[in-house]
Amino acid sequence: MVDDINSPGGDLWTAESRDAETAANFLRPVNVASSLFFESAAEIFTRVHHEIRPRTPIPPIDVAYKKFVDPNSRIRLESGRLTVTITDLLEGAPAPVTEALAHILLNKLYRKPIARQHQHRYRLYLNRRDMRRRIDLMRQSRGRKAHKGPEGSTHDLVTIFEELNIRHFGGMMARPELGWSHIRSRTRLGHFDPSHNTIMISRIFDDPRAPRLALEYVMFHEMLHLRYPVDHSGTRRCVHTPEFKAHEKQFPEFKEARALLRKLW
């Protein structure tokens, strides 16, 4: 997933970015052992197991990351062996998050109370905006066909795309897969997924009340993502390059369209 347009001024995202900030602050000053030296996930689970049941011999612990449709992880104790399967969403998560997950899963397994700090840290991490997007996309792409196809009840995305293609790209843009989202999302209005070469538009626009201009603008924005691919060099992804933004302003009704999106019907 590269990017999506969020509805400007949506309260939902404000709340989330506040969460993300709290999450960053929460994760920074931790003095847990795992932040001091590198441990594998299996080592973290082993250490936490010892903390929770200091007098019990530690069983062999296998930890694997798996693709699930949901963001949950699982733990199982079978013939003296602990098997932990963690959602691949958390592969590469900071060690304190894996440690929090170890506390949650092991305490659940042994039916012990889970300390609030572990639940809090784990939840904050999954609530980060980037993680929520990944969870959303994961559900869409793994759970079922990602979209409903281009033909809506009011608009046909192929028509919209080709009109914009002629008007703004000299008809030279190869058409990617186009589809309406399953959900009438007000927060994710459009989205270009380069790995599936797909532009997905929120079904909220497939509505006679939706101004066509708003839909056209969202489609145009996503087409620009095709035109200006994301630069993956370095750690920071520059999603809206200066060229992207300059081109976007050439949309004749740019301001009018943005204003329409600000007050979604």
Question: What is the distance between the alpha carbons of residues 225 and 222, in angstroms, rounded to a whole number?
Answer: 5
Task: Map the footprint of Zn ion across residues 83-112, applying CB under 5 A.
Answer: none
Minimum CB distance to Zn ion smaller for 88 or for 177: 177
Residue 177 sits at the vertex; the CA angle it makes with 186 and 90, to the nearest 5 degrees, is: 60
Contact assessment for residue 97 and residue 125, using Cβ atoms and an 8 Å cutoff: yes
Smallest distance, Zn ion to C-beta of residue 201, A: 13
| DSSP state at residue 33 | G
Task: Map the footprint of Zn ion across residues 217-256, applying CB under 5 A.
Answer: none
Residue 98 sits at the vertex; the CA angle it makes with 95 and 102, to the nearest 5 degrees, is: 135
Minimum CB distance to Zn ion smaller for 93 or for 219: 219
Minimum CB distance to Zn ion smaller for 206 or for 222: 222
Smallest distance, Zn ion to C-beta of residue 173, A: 16
Smallest distance, Zn ion to C-beta of residue 192, A: 8
Minimum CB distance to Zn ion smaller for 70 or for 243: 243
Q: What does the radius of gyration of the chain's CA atoms come to, in whole angstroms?
A: 23
Smallest distance, Zn ion to C-beta of residue 24, A: 23
**DSSP H helical segments within 28-128, as ranges?**
41-52, 95-109, 116-127
Minimum CB distance to Zn ion smaller for 3 or for 136: 3
Question: What is the distance between the alpha carbons of residues 98 and 93, in angstroms, rounded to a whole number?
Answer: 7
Q: How many residues bind Zn ion (CB under 5 A)?
A: 1
Task: Map the footprint of Zn ion across residues 2-61, applying CB under 5 A.
Answer: 3
The residue of the chain with the least Cβ separation from Zn ion equals 3
Minimum CB distance to Zn ion smaller for 180 or for 217: 217
Smallest distance, Zn ion to C-beta of residue 224, A: 7
Contact assessment for residue 151 and residue 186, using Cβ atoms and an 8 Å cutoff: no
| DSSP state at residue 238 | B
Task: Return the range that interacts with Zn ion (CB under 5 A); candidates 1-9, 81-89, 93-101, 109-117.
Answer: 1-9
Q: Judged by CB under 5 A, does residue 193 bind Zn ion? A: no
Smallest distance, Zn ion to C-beta of residue 102, A: 37
Q: Which two tokens stand for residue 180?
A: 């309406």
Among 95, 97, 101, which Cα is nearest to 39's?
A: 95
Residues lying near Zn ion in the complex (CB under 5 A): 3
